[in-house]
Amino acid sequence: MEKIIKFGESADFSIPADPGVLREKLAVSAYLPVEDIIKLKYWFNSIGVLKKKFNKSSLREYFIKLGEYSELTDEINRIFDGYDQVRDDASERLLKIRKEKRRIKQTIEETLNRILARRSSLFTDTTIIKRNQRFVLPVKRNFKNDFKGIIHSYSNSGETVFIEPMEITEYSARLFELSAQEQEEIERVLKSLTDQIRLRIEDIEADIEAVIDLDLLFAKAKYARDLDAAMPVFDEQINIVNGFHPILKTVETEVVPLNLKIGSDKKILLISGPNAGGKTVVLKTVGLIALMAKCGMFIPVEEGSTIPFFDRMYADIGDEQSIESHLSTFAAHIKQIKEALSAPSNSLVLLDELMSQTSVEEGSALAIAILERLSQRGATVLATTHNENLKIFVSTRTDMVNAGMEFTDRPTYRLILGIPQPSNAIRLAGELGINHGVLENALKRLDKEKVSMNNLFSDLSKELKEVQQERAKLNRLIKEYESKLEELNLKKKRELDELKAKYKRELIQSKRSIERLIKELKKEGPKPEKVHEMRKFFDEALHEDDESRVPYFPSIGEIVRIRSLKKTGQVVEEHAGKFKVSLENIYYWVEPKELESLPGDG
C-alpha cells in the first residue's frame, strides 16, 4: 500500500455487478438483460484503461494480471450502437427484417395520409396515432359507422373513436408478425453474445473480485494520505506517539494528540478526570487505531508507535439502554461486560464509566472484581472512572496503572500517565451556570480528606508536567549534541579521506620517479650524476617524511600512540585541530600527524 500512497493518483473502479448475482443470472436465463451487457462493456473498457494507465508505473504489478476483454468488447460494440440499442446489422436476418418493417411502415403511413387528406371532415385531428401497437385514425363519434375499420379504443370524453382503417389491416398484421420475428432474432443474437460471456465468466468473476480488492486498497491509500497516517508497526505493547482520533484529525480546529504507552507488565489502564475532559475520546482513539491496524489500514500516529494485533476487541461505551429488550442502563452494560469477561489473553477491552450505573459501594466491588478477572485472563484493558475507591485499588496493583486527563483552569485533553485525576465536578458545575449557593453547600458537604486528595493530585500533576518539560528539554539538547557530534565526525572523515588521497597521489608519483631512475641506471650505467640524483631524491623523501605522514584524528577517550615519544596515552580533549593526550598524568597538546591508532583499533 505504500506504493499506492506514494503514487498519489486515484482510479475508476466501477463494478458491473455482484459476481454471485451475475453467475445466478447466467444460470437461470438464456441471455443477459441488455443493461447488464452494457455495464459489462463499460467495465471491460475501464479494465483496459486501468491496465494502460498503470502499465509503466510502479503499480503495474497490481493490474498486469487483470484479463483481456477486447474481443468481447468488439463483439458488444458490433451488436449495440452508441445509444445502447441493438444495431440493424447485428445479424443479416435482423437487417432484412428491419428493412421490411420500414417499408411496410412507410406504406401504412402513406395510405393513412391519403385517407386523412381525402376524408378530413371525419376526423378530430389529422395526426396518425398508435394504439395497442396498431396505427389508427381519430374518427368523430358520429361518423364511426361511416368509416370501415377496426375500433381499438375511445377518448376519455367519448367523442373520438380510434379506428384502424380496413385498407391497412393486412399491412398491420404483417408489421406485427415482423416485430415478433425481430424480437426473436434479437434474443437469438443476445443468446449468442451471452454464450461468449458465459465462457469467460470465471475470468470476469475473478477480475471483479480483484477490482473490488484494488478499490478497497486505493480507498485505504487515499484515506491514509488524507490523514497523513503511518504504516502500523505491530508489537506486544501499545505505544501511541501523537495519535489522533481519525475523525478529529480531519477537523480544522486544533486537536491535542494522544501519547500513551501500556507495557506488557501493566496491561490495565484506569483513566480518571473531569467530565468532558477527553476520557472517552482516548478509549475510542485507541480502539479505532487498533481496528484500523488490524484491517490493514495506515493509522493516525507518528513514527515510533506500536500496536498489538489483537485477536478480539470488546467495547462498552455509551448508553445501550433498550426499552424493546426491557434492559435498564445497568443491565445493558452488564450484558456487554459479560462477553468481555471471557476474552482471550490477546484481547483489547474498552470500558467507559465502569460500573457507574449503580451504588458506589456495589459498583466499586463489581468494578474491582471485573478488572481482576480481566487481568487474570491477560487482556489489555482501558477503563474510565470517577470512582475514588477504584483509583485507590489500581494504585495498589503492580499489573495496573492509573492515568488522568489533565485539568488546569480548564481541561487540556492531555493524558497524564501514573497519576489519577480528580473529577472537578463542582468546579465544572459552576462554569456551566449552577447557582453559587448550591456550589457552596456542595463544598461544605464534601469530605475534607477528598478535597486534600484532589489538591494532592493537582500538585502531583503540576510537578509531573514540570519534570516532563525538563526531560523534553534534556532530550532536545541530547539530540543537538548528537547532531553536532555527527557533523564533526563527518568533517573529520572528509579531511582524512582528502589526506589519504593526497598521500596516495604522492606515493604513485614517487614510485614513477624511482622506476624512471632505475631504468636510466640500467640503460646508461652507474654514472656519478645519476647516483647523485637518486641519493638526492631519497634524502628529500626522508626529509619530508614528517610532512607526508597521514594525520590521525582520534575520538575523545580513545587510546593512541604518540609517534615522537613512542608511548601511548588517552585523548581527553580536542581544540583548534590539536588533541590533548593524557600520558602518565602529564598532558600534551599533539598535532594529528604525531598520532597513530593502536593495532586493532578503528
Q: Phi and psi (nearest 5°) for 352?
A: -95, 130
- Residue 584 has a pLDDT of 76
C-alpha cell, 1: 500500500
- Residue 18 has a pLDDT of 74
Reply yes or no on whether the pLDDT at 263 is more than 90: no
Q: How confident is the model at residue 324 (pLDDT cuts 50, 70, 90)?
A: very low
- E strands, 408-466, where? 411-417
- Residue 455 has a pLDDT of 60
Mean pLDDT of the chain: 84
- Distance (Å, rounded) from C-alpha 435 to C-alpha 531? 114
Q: Are 387 and 364 in contact (CB under 8 A)?
A: yes
Pick the CATH number of 551-602 from 3.20.20.70, 3.40.50.620, 2.30.30.140, 1.20.140.10: 2.30.30.140
- Residue 327 has a pLDDT of 57
Q: Residue 288: enclosing H or E segment and its boundaries?
A: helix 279-294
Exposed / middle / buried, residue 239 (Cβ in 10 Å: 0-12, 13-18, 19+): middle
C-alpha cell, 54: 498503470
Q: How confident is the model at residue 579 (pLDDT cuts 50, 70, 90)?
A: very high
- What angle is formed at CA 240 by the lines to CA 235 and CA 244, rounded to 5 degrees? 135
- Residue 319 has a pLDDT of 60
Helix, coil or strand: residue 137: strand
- Residue 488 has a pLDDT of 78
Entry field: residues in the chain: 602
Q: Are 240 and 261 in contact (CB under 8 A)?
A: yes
Lowest mean pLDDT among 330-334, 463-467, 486-490: 463-467
| Closest residue by Cα to residue 398 from 553, 544, 265, 225 | 265
- Distance (Å, rounded) from C-alpha 552 to C-alpha 574? 13
- Residue 323 has a pLDDT of 39
Reply yes or no on whether the pLDDT at 217 is more than 90: no
- Residue 14 has a pLDDT of 72
Reply yes or no on whether the pLDDT at 542 is more than 50: no
Number of Cβ within a 10 Å radius of residue 187: 13
Q: What is the pLDDT of residues 461-479, one digit of tens each?
A: 666 677 777 888 888 888 8
The pLDDT of 94-111, averaged and rounded, is: 96
Q: At the top level of CATH, which class does the domain 233-446 belong to?
A: alpha beta
Q: Please give the share of the chain, as a percent, with pLDDT higher than 90.
A: 42
Q: What is the pLDDT of residues 405-460, one digit of tens each?
A: 887 767 788 898 888 877 777 777 777 788 888 888 877 777 665 555 566 566 66
Write the CA distances from 590 to 567, 579, 600, 601, integer angstroms: 13, 5, 22, 19
- Residue 257 has a pLDDT of 92
- Distance (Å, rounded) from C-alpha 454 to C-alpha 222? 46
- Residue 216 has a pLDDT of 87
Domain segments of the chain: what residues?
2-69+200-225, 112-181, 233-446, 473-549, 551-602
- Residue 571 has a pLDDT of 92
Reply yes or no on whether the pLDDT at 2 is more than 70: no
Reply yes or no on whether the pLDDT at 331 is more than 60: yes
Reply yes or no on whether the pLDDT at 369 is more than 90: yes
Against a cut of 0.75, is the pTM above it? no
| Closest residue by Cα to residue 277 from 154, 135, 386, 201 | 386
Q: Are 81 and 101 in contact (CB under 8 A)?
A: no
